[in-house]
Amino acid sequence: MTDYSGSDRRRGGPDRRGTGEPTKILVVDDHALFRVGIRDILGQEADFLVVGEAVDSRTAFDLAVQLMPDIVLMDLSLPGVGGIETTQRLKRELPSVGIVVLADEEDEDALFDSIKAGAAAFILKDVGPDDLVTIVRRVRNGEYLINDKVFAKPSVAGRVLKEFRELAIYGQEAQPIFAPLSPREVEILDNIAQGMTNKQVAFALSISEQTVKNHMSSILRKLSVNDRTQAVVYAMRQGWIKMPED
């Protein structure tokens, strides 16, 4: 376990976007030479700070909780507990962390599992240095680059949309999927699509109006849209929520 920085133990981690503070990155891979290469590439960027390295799932989780990184570069083929399971656990414990999955090859099952686990990006290990830097910055800014890759593959997109439709029907009983909305966010968008106000949604879901507003802010950020109407239209086009009933 390699720790390069002091820790910030606030659950979920701080939001350093726009603050001038460097993006904290944790590298998880069991190959020392690969980790060195990644660290050297990212270390050349003034706004990046590699705060630690991990060689397995347990070390990755412990370091992530200790250091609260903004970004985790996650090897898909970790020994023992693999990268998918580790990603799932990290997203449950630290939902704000952006996870970039690193794979040896294009594999549709791995891509599907990665998006379900909550990864923000899925890239091959032969990615160029400039592309890697760009991807890390975009994920740090809240983008879910994995969506573009998923929806470019019809067979994977079909599986994702099927799970979202089941989510809309069965709610929390359906197996959770992140692409990038949470089950609660899909539920809120579904209600808004039916014409409900924030106050009405709050009443229907037995939550506060402020909680609805907080979820809407998260939805707008994740989908990179400016208002609730655009969010609803986007979600409908993706098949995540049903069309309003007449």
- From edge to edge, which strands make up the β-sheet containing 2-3? 2-3, 48-54, 23-28, 71-75, 98-103, 121-124
Estimate the crossing angle of helix 154-170 against helix 183-193, to 10 degrees.
80
DSSP 175: P
Residue-wise pLDDT tens digits, 16-26: 445 578 999 99
Omega before 180 within 30 of 0, i.e. cis:
yes
Q: Is the pLDDT of residue 29 over 70?
A: yes
Residue 159: which of 109, 123, 120 has the closest Cα? 109
pTM for this predicted structure: 0.62
Task: Please name each of the domains of the chain with its CATH number.
Answer: 2-151 (3.40.50.2300), 181-238 (1.10.10.10)
Residue-wise pLDDT tens digits, 195-228: 888 899 999 999 999 999 988 888 887 777 777 7
Helix (H) or strand (E) holding 6: none
DSSP 47: T
Please give the backbone phi and psi of residue 102, each rounded to the nearest 5 degrees, phi first: -110, 120
**How do beta strands 2-3 and 23-28 pair?**
unpaired
